Amino acid sequence: MAEQVRDPHRISGFSKFDKAQRRQWLLEHFLPGQAVDDFTFFEAGHPDLQQVVDNFSENTVANFPLPFGVAPNFVINGKTYAVPMVIEESSVVAAASSSAKYWSTRGGFHAEVIAGEKLGQLHFRWNGHPDRRATLFPELERRLSAATRELTARMEQRGGGVRGMQWKHLPAVDPQCYQLLVSFGTGDSMGANFINTVLEAYATEIERWSADSPALNEAERDLEVIMAILSNHTPNAVVRAWVSCPIEKMNLAGSGVDAADFVRRFRLAVDIACADPYRAVTHNKGIMNGVDAVVLATGNDFRAVEAAAHAFAAEGGRYRSLSRCRVVGDNFCFELTLPLSLGTVGGLTRLHPLADLSLNLLGRPDAEELMCVAAVTGLAQNFAALRSLVTTGIQRGHMKMHLHNILSSLDASAPERREAVSFFSGRTVSHHGVRQFLDKLREGGAG
């Protein structure tokens, strides 16, 4: 038998190493020629903060910094905000800020939470007839509620708790596949841990019910829990954001496009995203640029928000724009409807110092107010992107903001940066053009 050769790139017990050992192992096996300073350069300045960050995840070896920006002048439901945004993409914060300033003199943004319920699912296999559900469900529901009374009591005091449940049959999966679909209110918390804890308690109790309920016949005692977990599809936690003003006030200084023509082109652009999935995906990605930046800044789960938003956009079997544009008489109306599951207590919202700072910056909002702020930021970002697309084109503003990234990649000095910023003011920015400019400048020939 051939001797088994040990692969030096594989390891057992990596998670048991301390951070210095993990770094050293990576340098030895995967990063030849690099130094430990490539990791330590990004350490937090205070050891207590670094310990907090290290505990957010597993197998940590370094921090991954992202810019923390602020978009001022957001007027939402009559209140002015400076909105925190964490994002690395050039021009997003600038575009949101520009849109906020534009709408601050045209009535501001408006937003409302339409619904705030979240969902969880308990899936199980059951050897009973589907028609028996109506008879058996009342007893099961009472037992589940009684078994979790202590778990739900504190959430109920905060206005949340279990709002209802349905016993569903899923024959498309398997003739014996069933689901309890449970709706929850979670107050100002995102609620994932609460929902999952309740559902797992339900799983234990439904197994007890199948074993000891006198209402069940012998065949019906054959029940197997498959899984219990929250759903990130949140069609019952929805916020609407909108702007509206007379078309005559939709002027764009310096664009060369009059207000009526701008509105016409803008509406066509939104209608295209409503009809064409290829455009809709990019259109909605722009919305999520704004939403995700706020979600990240406040310590919420942007992956859950993204998944829910795209599922919502595909309701009805076709992927569509999340925003809509209408012209009603002489008024321009632009709105966004978006599922959002956010929290302002629990999780990273308190543990991460910048998330806590973000909530302070917003005036310690409750979950519904934060939902409104995030949705409005997405609408503002969408407006700014479409405004550029139908007038000057998206690259002019984007590449202007990208200039500093290009200069960094070309190792430009501080004096060279100042010269480049001055030279490219009003000119088209491209990587090739910036490189040519720096080459001439370094030869003494730029001007």
Catalytic residue among 89, 207, 261, 416: 89
d(CA 127, CA 178): 10
At residue 396, the pLDDT reads 54
Q: Which two tokens stand for residue 286?
A: 């722009």
d(CA 288, CA 365): 21
- H-type alpha helices, 105-191: 133-147, 149-157
Is 169 within 8 Å of 133 (Cβ atoms)?
yes
Torsion angle defined by CA atoms of residues 341, 346, 348 and 354, in that order, rounded to the nearest 10 degrees: 100
Torsion angle defined by CA atoms of residues 216, 220, 225 and 231, in that order, rounded to the nearest 10 degrees: -80
Percent of the chain past pLDDT 90, that is, above it, reads 79
Q: Which of 303, 415, 281, 372 is nearest to 74 (CA)?
A: 372
DSSP annotation string for 262-287:
HHHHHHHHHHHHHH-HHHHHHHHHHH
140 by DSSP, 3-state: which? helix
At residue 419, the pLDDT reads 85
Catalytic residue among 123, 233, 398, 402: 398
Q: Characterize the bridge pairing of strands 68-76 and 331-339.
A: unpaired
Q: Which of 224, 193, 219 is nearest to 206 (CA)?
A: 224
Q: Could you confirm whether 89 is annotated as catalytic?
A: yes
At residue 93, the pLDDT reads 97
At residue 399, the pLDDT reads 56
DSSP annotation string for 389-419:
HTTT-HHHHHHHHHHHHHHHHTT--HHHHHH
Torsion sign over Cα 285, 290, 293, 294: negative
At residue 431, the pLDDT reads 81
12 by DSSP, 3-state: which? coil
Torsions phi, psi of 45, nearest 5? Answer: -65, -25
CATH class, range 118-231: alpha beta
Q: Which residues contact 424 (CB under 8 A, 6 or more apart)?
A: 400, 403, 433, 434, 437
Q: Could you confirm whether 398 is annotated as catalytic?
A: yes
Read off the pTM: 0.87
d(CA 341, CA 324): 21
Is 26 within 8 Å of 61 (Cβ atoms)?
yes
At residue 434, the pLDDT reads 87
pLDDT digits (tens, 9 = 90+) for 31-50: 999 999 999 999 998 888 89
Is 213 within 8 Å of 151 (Cβ atoms)?
no
Q: Which two tokens stand for residue 326?
A: 């209408």
Catalytic residue among 188, 200, 292, 301: 301
Q: Where are the domains of the chain?
A: 14-54, 69-112+240-392, 118-231, 398-442
Which letter does DSSP use for residue 6 in this model? P
d(CA 2, CA 417): 61
Torsions phi, psi of 244, nearest 5? Answer: -160, 140
Left, alpha or beta for 44 (phi > 0: left; psi -120 to 50: alpha)?
A: beta
d(CA 25, CA 15): 12
Pick the CATH number of 69-112+240-392 from 3.40.50.720, 3.90.770.10, 3.40.718.10, 3.20.20.70: 3.90.770.10
Amino acid at residue number 345: V
Is 374 within 8 Å of 299 (Cβ atoms)?
no
Residues in the chain, pLDDT under 70: 1-5, 255, 393-402, 426, 445-447
Residue the block writes with tokens 């219990």 = 228
